[in-house]
Amino acid sequence: MPHILVVDDEKNIVKGIKFSLEQDGMKVDTAYDGEEALALAKANAYDLIILDVMLPLMDGTEVCQQIREFSAVPIIMCTAKTDDMDKITGFDIGADDYMTKPFIMLELKARVKAILRRAQIAKPVAPMKNQTIAVRSLTLDTQARRVFVQEIEIALTAKEYDLLEFMMRNADKVYTREALLAELWGTDNQGDVRTVDVHVRRLREKIEENPKEPTFIYTKWGVGYYFR
């Protein structure tokens, strides 16, 4: 049973989301301000968090940033704003998906199920022959979803890890931003392709010795990205 945290200061919205997800067999906790949300995120191992941006006591962006200091739980950010830069900011601080209010409940449920499905697929159900992928100083433990650079563990969000593992498993293949968006965010996702740029930049900052001169994730100018 997936365990979900829904955070919004509008109680009718929380009530509607909670009811809808529980109808699909999910366990749902709720919070109405940022401080309560952060406390619950620290106390529970959630499978996904639906997090509104505009919250009392602590806004959603600050909550997301603090959660990313101790957890890679998938986070869907929700906001009434329509500015693309708000979405880029959300992805930049570690959000996995973004929805603009008002949204259709069926779409939210589809996003939730897609994220949970990809997370479940990523979990090995049996011992794998190749549980480690190593390229020079970079090592992935694919069973535990852990990343090491020169034997030092690096904290990645769930989506950053997915992107890195996908590119490492498909080394030397050039992928367009659109292809990566479809592969990792779902073919039904209409997100801005700059989402991919943000995640690549964040990955470079974490795994590259010099992010401005990468030695793992390269840019094929005018095309996309590839790993070598």
pLDDT tens digits, one per residue of 38-48: 999 999 989 99
Comparing CA positions, the residue from 114, 112, 121, 118 lying closest to residue 28 is 112
pTM: 0.60
Burial environment of residue 18 by CB neighbours within 10 A (0 to 12, 13 to 18, 19 or more): middle
Comparing CA positions, the residue from 192, 218, 185 lying closest to residue 203 is 218
Task: Identify the band that residue 194 occupies on the pLDDT scale cut at 50, 70 and 90.
Answer: confident
Range of the domain at 43: 3-122
Q: Structurally, how many domains does the chain consist of?
A: 2
Half-sphere exposure of 14 toward its Cβ, with a 13 Å CA cutoff? 19
Burial environment of residue 137 by CB neighbours within 10 A (0 to 12, 13 to 18, 19 or more): middle
User: pLDDT at position 121, please?
Assistant: 57
Does one domain contain both 139 and 62? no
Task: Look at 142 and 208; give whichever has higher pLDDT.
Answer: 208
Does one domain contain both 114 and 136? no
- Six-digit token string for 52: 């509104």
**CATH number reported for the structural domain that contains residue 74 in this entry:** 3.40.50.2300
Edge-first strand listing for the sheet containing 132-135: 132-135, 138-141, 146-149, 152-154
